[in-house]
Amino acid sequence: MDKSVEWHVIANAISGVWPQIAPVFRAEHFQDADCRMLAEAIKRVDSEQDEVTPVTVGKAAGYDISEMIAIAKNASMRKQTLKNVEFLAENYRKRVIETTVKELHEVIKGSPLTAKELLVRAQQTMIEALEDAGGLETKSMGDVTENYFEYRLKVENGELPETIPFSMPNLTYKTGGLEQGNLVVLAARPSMGKTALALNEIYSWTKKGYRGMFVSLEQQEIPIARRLVARIGRIDSHKLRGKLGTDEKAQEGAALSEMRELPLSLVDKRGLDVDQILSLARLEKHKHPGLQFVAVDHLTEIGIHGDNTHKEITKIVKKLRDLAGELGIWVLLLCQLNRGVEGRDNKRPAMSDLRESGSIEEHADVVLMLYRHGYYHPGFGSVPEMDRITELAVKKNREGEMGGALITMFDMPHMRFYEATHEHKSIYQEAIRGARRKDTKS
């Protein structure tokens, strides 16, 4: 314990520096009993909206005025005060960590929990302890302006991307791209291509050097690898279940060589709950500080505790969005829409189809939804490719456009999504208009 630093802060606080250090000043940061008592008195004076002076603080602490004047005479190096307050706060956080570790040690003794469960609990306890130790802070508009200026400078100098692009330029244009802290929800009914589109974007991001982690709660490593090999090597995914010809083996080998180098980690354990996913993401960020995204497939496969599914899913979505902010990453969350879609004549999904899944609409920054008309009406178009056309709609976007679906082509054999050609768009739109006219007449 460095008493001189604590007394320096107290002396300067009662000598005119208080307004500059008030937002980060906490009495519990002080170890010396006398300093802590005076710090508590300073906080009481401030809470009563009185000026912090030797007289007011002395009265609140029960100190003689002559003692307070003597303390105030030691005020010096005022510009150093804020740094000293932050120094005390950092030391306090270290003490909290030390205490928490000791408490966890006692919990571990004889605990029936598994090692992984204990790890999740330890991480959560430590994070909660540090959040509590950090206190509440406000940021002045001066601080915000400086931070924004630094951010813009990094963007202009190429140190940060303007935004993170999707694989399809028009989707990037429509959404404005992605930023750190974003939660992106990709929702659809089964068989629309959610996982294929997610892997399409993951491949695009990792090819550009963005490191990520893919949490697959449904499919395990071999099916995931098969999808990626089909996507990278342009090999029919069905053929990858059996023996390949000479040319296809060469394509597979090249795809595997490329896949090996992708900056991507895979988690394929089923039944994980959200806290285990958070724990894995934090560990991955610790191992790879350059981690920039986490993708989770999918929401309803995340383990929940308790009978109130609506409430639990709401917590899951909020925790994943908070994780994006905490780690400075973006999170892609896949979500299955409710069965109500199937009972409608118009099966294009709407935001209302998310309501049973908690507050997804509230917490997501971007919500994307897939619809493939050919799934419900095979052979509806004049050319076979029409059955593969998939509408990709931006249903929510905090900082960009909404409305109007992007017309994409789902190359199912190769697990690839790309923007449809102008010709295919025109044929598709005419076929849809014709189907609507037919429905209207009938």
- Whether 441 has a pLDDT exceeding 70, the answer reads no
Mean pLDDT of 370-392: 87
Q: What is the pLDDT of residue 357?
A: 57
At residue 439 the predicted structure's pLDDT band, cuts being 50, 70 and 90, is low
Q: Where is pLDDT greater, at 217 or 124? A: 217
The predicted-structure confidence for 140-155, as pLDDT tens digits, reads as follows 787 778 888 887 888 7
State phi, psi for 404 to the nearest 5 degrees.
75, 120
- Write the CB contacts of 110 (distance below 8 Å, at least 6 apart in sequence): none
Q: What is the pLDDT of residue 136?
A: 44
Q: What is the pLDDT of residue 377?
A: 87
- Whether 296 has a pLDDT exceeding 70, the answer reads yes
CATH superfamily to which 169-441 belongs: P-loop containing nucleotide triphosphate hydrolases (3.40.50.300)
The predicted-structure confidence for 29-67, as pLDDT tens digits, reads as follows 999 999 999 999 999 998 888 899 999 999 999 999 999
Mean pLDDT of 392-411: 85
As a whole number of Å, the end-to-end CA separation of the chain is 85
Please give the share of the chain, as a percent, with pLDDT higher than 90.
40
Q: What is the pLDDT of residue 20?
A: 84
Cβ burial 392-402 (10 Å sphere, 16+ → b, else e): bbbbbbeebee
109/119 Cα distance (integer angstroms): 14
**Across all residues in the chain, what is the average pLDDT?**
86
Element (H, E) at 332: strand 330-336
Q: Where is pLDDT greater, at 211 or 47? A: 211
Q: Where is pLDDT greater, at 437 or 304? A: 304
Q: What is the pLDDT of residue 139?
A: 67
Q: What is the pLDDT of residue 125?
A: 72
Phi-psi region of 271 (alpha: psi -120 to 50; beta: other; left: phi over 0): left
What is the CA angle 312-317-323, rounded to 5? 125
* Domain locations along the chain: 3-134, 169-441
Which one-letter DSSP state was computed for residue 347? Answer: -
Q: Which CATH number fits domain 3-134: 3.90.1150.10, 1.10.860.10, 1.10.340.30, 3.40.50.720?
A: 1.10.860.10
- The candidate with the shortest Cα–Cα distance to 122, out of 358, 251, 163, 114, is 114
* CA 324 from centre of chain: 2
Say if residue 44 is exposed, middle or buried (CB neighbours under 10 Å; 0-12, 13-18, 19+): middle
